[in-house]
Amino acid sequence: MNHEDYFKEAGIEAEKSLCLRDKCGAIIVLGDKIIGRGFGAPVNDDITQRKCHLNLINSKKPKSDRTCCLHAEWRAIIDAIKNMKDITGSTLYFTRVDEEGNILKSGEPYCTVCSRLALDNGIKYFALWHDDGIKLYNTKEYNDLSYEFHKN
């Protein structure tokens, strides 16, 4: 599989999302094997816990925490750890999809919660598909860029 194939797999995960705002998906790859999968959803997939309708745009919460859902990246990391225990050296692929399941291109790194969790668990690369192509960020670089995003 190549990077585009892995993003398509992350897109399949995103289509499972129970979030009313964003359909996000992530996979974790080690070697050439998918070892973890995740999609955005409220805790325990309990749709009664969805708070997607709340307008948190002006909230004091950071952008990465203006959701009621577990991030797709968190679920993929948890799934990978359940499957492999040691996920050091892996790559995390993250994407969003529209209502038709089309992959949406990513903006710049900004989620410090996901970057810290990925960094702490030994994930080597964080992959995003931007308008100008696929970029594999070293996870330390992704973390630094995510903090830089919030300085303004």
Domain that holds residue 33: 3-149
What does the pLDDT read at residue 70? 84
Whether 86 has a pLDDT exceeding 70, the answer reads yes
What local confidence, expressed as pLDDT, does residue 46 receive?
Answer: 73
Q: Which amino acid, residue 76?
A: A
Q: What is the mean pLDDT of the chain?
A: 89
For 10-66, the pLDDT digits (tens) are 999 999 998 877 899 999 999 999 999 999 887 777 767 666 666 556 666 555 565
- Determine how β-strand 33-39 pairs with β-strand 91-97: unpaired
Give how far the C-alpha of residue 75 lies from the chain's centroid of Cα atoms, to the nearest Å: 9
pLDDT(108) > 90: yes
Cβ pair 76, 121 in contact under 8 A = no
Number of domains in the chain: 1
CA distance 37 to 33: 11
Contact present, 1 and 32 (Cβ < 8 Å):
yes
Give bridge partners of residue 97 from the DSSP assignment. 23, 103
Give the rounded percent of residues in the chain with a pLDDT score beyond 70: 85
Q: Coil, strand or helix: which one is 126? A: strand
How many Cβ atoms are within 10 Å of 133's Cβ, its own excluded?
9
pLDDT above 90: residue 3: yes
Q: What is the CATH number of the domain that holds 64?
A: 3.40.140.10
